[in-house]
Structure 1
Amino acid sequence: MDWNRVEGNWKQVKGKVKEQWGKLTDDDLDRIAGKRDQLEGKIQERYGIEKDRARRDIDDWYGRQGW
């Protein structure tokens, strides 16, 4: 599954995102709406990490999903 499909299935995927990054609120997830760059930015903001780290964390999470 490529990221476009994540965006298209965001309502189903956001539960998995919330399991991984529990500091993200439902409002955050609604605003992100599957946009990867917004997800990176919000993870960076909520967890106080640099953008490269957020990107790696998303890549790791994405790779572990059984799409």
Structure 2
Amino acid sequence: MNTDQIAGKWKQMKGEAKVMWGKLTDDELDIAEGHKDRLSGLIQERYGRTKEEAEREINSFLSRY
């Protein structure tokens, strides 16, 4: 799934992202707007994940769609 597809479906995906990454606020998820790099940075910051770990989580999350 490319960035445009993610951004287009982000409103649908945001609820499930909130469940998966509950420490992220609605405002932070709005800022991410489905951009993998922004979301990765937020996950790294809030959860102390490495870049690779965050990217794996995001890819796993996106594979559902």
TM normalised by structure 1 equals 0.85
Q: Which residue of 2 aligns with 1:45?
A: 45
Q: Which ranges of structure 1 fall in alignment gaps of 5 or more residues?
A: none
Give the letter for the 2:6 counterpart: V
Structure 2 residue aligned with 1:7? 7
Q: How many residues align?
A: 64
Whole-Å separation in 2 of the counterparts to 1:61 and 1:16 = 9
- Give structure 1 regions of 4+ aligned residues with deviation exceeding 4 angstroms: none
CA RMSD of aligned residues (A): 1.1
- 1:20 maps to 20
Q: Share of identical aligned residues, percent?
A: 47
- How far off its partner does 1:28 sit? 0.3
Counterpart position of 1:31: 31
